[in-house]
Amino acid sequence: SLEINYELGCGVLTAIPSYAESYTHNVDDHLDGLSMNTGNDAYDLGEGQQNSRDQTSGELRLASPADSKWVWLAGYFYMKSDSRRYGMDEQDATSYADDQYHQQLKSNPLISSAFFGQTTYPVTDRFRITGGIRFANDKEKRDFRIGGSYSTGEVFYDSGWLHYESDVNSTTYKG
């Protein structure tokens, strides 16, 4: 991430752009139930799963000058994240033939954004009033499938592809 500050006559403008990327590879030897997070295909002792996540975020805020008696801050935050799973999830959830349930998951993007503000006003030298508010919106989408089959190969459950979406607005305040 990076932080950029710019002095304006009315306050300080701050921008914080950020990008993160991660990748994990988990394998399970199926002997004792312990998983290893190796990141190396040479250690693939059994079935495994690979996960990758990309996240981009940014914050822009304007704050009162440092020497101001009346302290205030207003800003906007945005984040987009997308995770993908490979390996076990590429296999049909009903084809394992091991008497267990399995999940297949396609990419699941998440978008979060918020406007926020806070202010503190000194009524006297010993008494201040502070208030703040945040309006947020979080959106998530997910496509997944749950299935299982007996060791004979007979399917005992198949949910088919399911789609989940949430779009949540929230307001948080402090006073």
- The confidence score (pLDDT) of residue 72 equals 96
* Spatial CA neighbour of 59 closest among 41, 46, 74: 74
The three-point CA angle 96-99-103 to 5° equals 55
Closest CA to 161 of 95, 104, 109: 104
Share of the chain above pLDDT 70, in %: 76
Check residue 157 and give its pLDDT: 82
Q: What is the mean pLDDT of the chain?
A: 80
Beta bridge partners of 159: none
Q: 114-142: per-residue pLDDT in tens? A: 999 999 999 998 999 999 999 999 998 88
The sign of the torsion formed by the CA atoms of 145, 146, 149, 154 equals: negative
Backbone dihedral region of 153: left (phi > 0), alpha (psi from -120 to 50 degrees) or beta? left
Tell me what pLDDT residue 19 has: 93
Residue 64 has pLDDT above 50, yes or no: yes
What's the pLDDT score for residue 30? 47
